[in-house]
Amino acid sequence: MTLKRKRLPKPVVATTNNKTIRKKKTHQFSQALISKFHVLNKEKERLKQQPQNSEVIERLNEIEKTIEHMGGLDAYQKASLLGQDKRRGGDSSKWFIKQLLSLKKPTEFENDDNYIAGKPSNSKTYSLLDIGAVSGSNYSKEGKWIKAKAIDLNPQDSLVEKADFFEYPIPAEKYQILCLSLVINFVGDNKKRGIMIARANKFLVKNGLLFIVLPNPCVNNSRYCTDEHFKKILDYLGFTLVTSHVSRKLVYYLFRKIKDINIQKIQKAKPKFPKVLLNDGVSRNNFCVVI
């Protein structure tokens, strides 16, 4: 008679082996690389706005060299892809899809195909533009009902079109959904951040959805931006908040476009939301959106 070997129960206490240490170190390294990249990118944008004297030019060259030494945008994006699981337990599209599926269409919008809520009826598809996507497979699981197009300054796979959103032509046929996940904070210039959101309005159909993800400290620990302030900016740019979610590291917003805006007029006018100190404190950051 052969005796069945009893399996030993797994220890309740977590053990630390070389693999977990390595994983932790890789994660710490990619987080450090992402932070440094953001700091340098912001300084670069700020210096570009100043008179180009020899000191400024020298510092700009230094920054370029450091970024290059770090592996450039390519290394930043790889670190960003690597960080996805750790940062948020999967990519941010999961939260968005969950919200989208739970949305109900109010009766007054029943015949409006562009009032995006739940799955589209009659095997139709939603059109979605994923800006700063890095990877083109964020919405592949929903391929039957979401026709997604992904763009990025530096695509990491062939499913993403290489394009700069600021130069991307406003389409004749507008999108029903737009995603700006961790992209607004990537843009180093405060004014360009405002323009990015304003352009998002022009790319969307009325009643279409805008999904935004930001690092939590952008709206919860900045001298120049709070959650309330950010929502006011979005309101000014024609959006109303549908729902939001705050995690330890990230803030997720889902907005609906409720009116069209005139970008030229907004750009020509004195900023309605200039850089104004809202919260002082040495440990705060300088994230800001100007429009």
Chain residues binding ligand SAM by CB under 6 A are: 73, 77, 80, 84, 92, 131-134, 151-154, 164-166, 181-183, 186-187, 213
Beta bridge partners of 160: 150
Which residue has its beta carbon closest to ligand SAM?
A: 132
Q: Report the nearest approach of ligand SAM to the CB of residue 178 (Å).
A: 12
Apex CA 252: angle with CA 247 and CA 253, to 5°? 145
Choice between 126 and 189, CB closer to ligand SAM:
189
- 3-state SS, residue 126: strand
113 annotated among ligand-binding-site residues: no
Supply 30's token pair. 């990619």
For the purposes of burial, counting CB atoms within 10 Å of the CB of 187, is it exposed (0-12), middle (13-18) or buried (19 or more)? buried
Q: Report the nearest approach of ligand SAM to the CB of residue 106 (Å).
A: 30
152 annotated among ligand-binding-site residues: yes
Choice between 165 and 273, CB closer to ligand SAM:
165
Choice between 77 and 285, CB closer to ligand SAM:
77
Q: Report the nearest approach of ligand SAM to the CB of residue 164 (Å).
A: 5
Supply 19's token pair. 């693999």
Choice between 117 and 134, CB closer to ligand SAM:
134
Q: Report the nearest approach of ligand SAM to the CB of residue 72 (Å).
A: 11
At position 112, the amino acid (one-letter code) is: D
Distance CA 48, CA 5 (A): 69
Q: What angle in degrees, to the nearest 10, is found between the helix axes of 54-70 and 18-48?
A: 160
Annotated binding-site positions: 132, 152
Annotated binding-site positions for S-adenosyl-L-methionine: 132, 152
